Amino acid sequence: MSAAELWYALPLIVSVSLVYAATRYELMEFIIAHAIRTAVWLGGFMLIVTLVLWGLSAWLT
Amino acid sequence: MAKENDEIVVNLRDPFIAGILAWLLPGAGHWYQHRRAKAVIFFVCIFGTFMYGMFLGEGRVVYAQWEGPEFRRYPFICQVAVGLPSLPAVVLAWSGGESFFGTRWYVPPTIIGGKSPELDDLHLRLNRRFELGTVFTMIAGLLNVLAIYDAVCGPAYSVTRRSKKEGDDAAPTNSDGAEGDSPEKQPANA
C-alpha cells in the first residue's frame, strides 16, 4: 500500500467530524469549531497509530 | 453572540415523521424541521460518503445477500441505514432481479455450486477499492444513524427540545441561529 492511499482517509475525517459535531450542537459556529477539534483529534490519533505500525514494521523486518 | 452553554429552543415538529424522513434520505428530516443548515451538512456528508463508496466499488459493494454463511453480506446491515440510496439492493434481493437500469449495481454476485466466481472476479479487479467502497458506504450508514437520532431527539448539548405534542412556549431556532419559519412558531418569552 502506498502512502498516497492515506488520502482516502481525508473525506472520511471531514464527513465524520462534521456529522458528529452537527449531532452535538445546533448553531453553526459551534458545529464548525467542534468539527475542527474532532478532525484534529482523529487525524492525530491516526497519525500516532500509523507511526506505531510503521515503527513495528521497521523493527520486525 | 451565542455562548456554548446558552440554551436554545429547537422545534422538532413531529419527531416520528422527522425520523422516518431522516432515514429515507440523509438530511430530509432536518429539512422538514426547518433546520436547513444541518440538513445540508447531513446530506452532503452522508450522501456524498455513500456515493463515493459506490464510485470506488463500481456500484457492486452495496447488495443484500443471505445465502450460505460465507456469502452473507453483513456490511449491508450498516449500509441500509442510509435509506433510499440502499433500498434498490433490498428490492433486487427479494425479486431476484439481474440488473438495475441496465447495470449490475446493487445486484448480489451469483453463487454457483457453493462458489462465487463473480465475487472472486470483483475482488481481483477492484482489489482494495472493493473494501474501501464497503467501508465508505458502511460509515455513511452509521453516520445516518446519528443524524436520525438528532432528528428525533435534538442535539446533545444546550438545547430545549420542543415537539408538536408539547406546549409551545418559545420560538424555535434554526441551526444558523435565526428564528425558524415553522408554522408552529411562537413569540419568544425566554
Residue B6 has pLDDT above 60, yes or no: yes
Instruction: Give Rg (Cα) of chain B.
Output: 20
Please measure the distance between the N-terminal and C-terminal CA atoms of chain B and give it in whole angstroms. 16
Q: Which residues, including other chains, have CB under 8 Å from residue A57's CB and lie 6 or more apart? A: none
Given a cut of 70, the residues of chain A with pLDDT beneath it are 1
Percent of chain B topping pLDDT 70: 81
> So what's the pLDDT on residue B187?
33
Instruction: Calculate mean pLDDT across residues B148-162.
Output: 83
Whether residue A18 and residue B154 make contact (CB cut-off 8 A), yes or no, is: no
Residue B186 has pLDDT above 60, yes or no: no
Q: Can you tell me the ipTM of this complex?
A: 0.90
Is the CB of B178 inside 8 Å of chain A's CB atoms?
no
> So what's the pLDDT on residue B184?
38
Whether residue A24 and residue B156 make contact (CB cut-off 8 A), yes or no, is: yes
> So what's the pLDDT on residue A61?
86
Q: What distance in Å separates residue B150's CA from the closest CA in chain A?
A: 6
Phi (first) and psi of residue A47, to 5 degrees: -65, -45
Is residue B99 within 8 Å of B107, Cβ to Cβ? yes
> So what's the pLDDT on residue B177?
47
Confidence band for B169, pLDDT divided at 50, 70 and 90: very low
The pLDDT tens digits of the residues spanning B110-140 come to 998 888 999 999 999 999 999 999 999 999 9
Domain locations along chain B:
16-156
> So what's the pLDDT on residue B79?
97
The pLDDT tens digits of the residues spanning B9-65 come to 888 999 999 999 999 999 999 999 999 999 999 999 999 999 999 999 999 999 999
Q: How far apart are CA B58 and CA B83, in angstroms?
A: 19
DSSP-assigned letters across all residues of B54-86: HHHTTT-S-----SSGGG--THHHHHGGG-GGG
CB contacts of B159 in chain A (<8 Å) are 26
Instruction: Give Rg (Cα) of chain A.
Output: 15
Whether residue A28 and residue B132 make contact (CB cut-off 8 A), yes or no, is: no
Q: How far apart are CA B139 and CA B150, in angstroms?
A: 17
Average pLDDT, chain B: 85
> So what's the pLDDT on residue B158?
59
Please measure the distance between the N-terminal and C-terminal CA atoms of chain A and give it in whole angstroms. 16
Residue B75 has pLDDT above 80, yes or no: yes
Place of cell 473494501: B131
Domain locations along chain A:
8-60
> So what's the pLDDT on residue B190?
31
